[in-house]
Amino acid sequence: MGKFEFSEKLREYITKIETETGRNVRILESPHLGLKGMWAGFRYHPDFIIVIIRSGINKPDETLERSIAHEATHGYILFKENYCMAEFDESITDNDRKDIQLIFTMVDDIVVNKIISQNGFMPFGSEYLDVVQKEIDAMISGQDFYRQFSDDLLFDDLLMISRYIIAWGFLEYFDLNTDAYELIKKFTAVFKYSYPIQYRIADEIRQIIIKNDIFTSEGHCKAMDEILELLKFKNLVEIVNIS
């Protein structure tokens, strides 16, 4: 797996993914991962599971290994569990593509985090709770934490909604310790008060997820179809299974 010497736990998990998907995991480096603060990202390839880590990391630690396991699992649910993904028309704009990818990620991450937690990894990175606290502090003080990430107001709204959905997912589907649970619970409560418009959309998405079992391929695909329709992106993308 390149220049790094990873832990036995990660090596065994990567081997499991490769065996069950029939595809090698390739770990590459890039300075461009999308959102600020990302450690790693998944890139779809029909023949490999591509995990791209941030350039400049000299040695692996628990956070990086957890990020690699997380991103590789995005490939696992596509190739092994037959989860659906977005297939774009060539005419789609970069902004629409980015928005739709974020919509898929907010749902997929709940499933992926559940799988890695069942395989010995933390469901969220070491920095997650600190960021959640910063989000709470910003909302209470009236600052808009999310506008720092892009100049696209729609993307920022979707990012806000995705942060709520991921947080709710941890409360709904994970066995958290008391401190983590109370902090994330506080985040969802403050978000509901601070961003009523975005919360209303997030709550509709939450109900779609509850109605459809996203931990199955069929339920996930139905949920994504309904969410894309809700957010008025359905006519821009085709939902496909690749395996």
Q: Which CATH number goes with the domain that contains 62?
A: 3.30.2010
Name the residue with higher pLDDT: 18 or 29: 18
Is residue 18 within 8 A of residue 24, CB to CB? The reply is yes
Per-residue tokens: 206: 């939450």
Q: Is the pLDDT of residue 147 over 80?
A: no
Domain match, 74 and 51 both: yes
- Of the candidates 80, 95, 113, which is a domain's last residue? 80
Domain match, 76 and 97 both: no
Residue numbers of the domain that contains 29: 1-80
Q: Is 43 helix (H, G, I), strand (E, B) or coil?
A: strand
According to the model, what pLDDT value does residue 4 have?
66
Which amino acid would we find at residue 55?
Answer: S
Question: Is the sign of the CA dihedral 85, 88, 94, 95 positive or negative?
Answer: negative
pLDDT in tens, 105-136: 999 999 999 999 999 999 998 889 999 999 99
Question: How much is the average pLDDT of 199-207?
Answer: 98
Residue written as tokens 């066995």?
175
Domain match, 89 and 65 both: no
Domain match, 23 and 121 both: no
Name the residue with higher pLDDT: 37 or 183: 183
According to the model, what pLDDT value does residue 154 have?
83
pLDDT-based confidence at 18, cuts 50/70/90?
Answer: very high
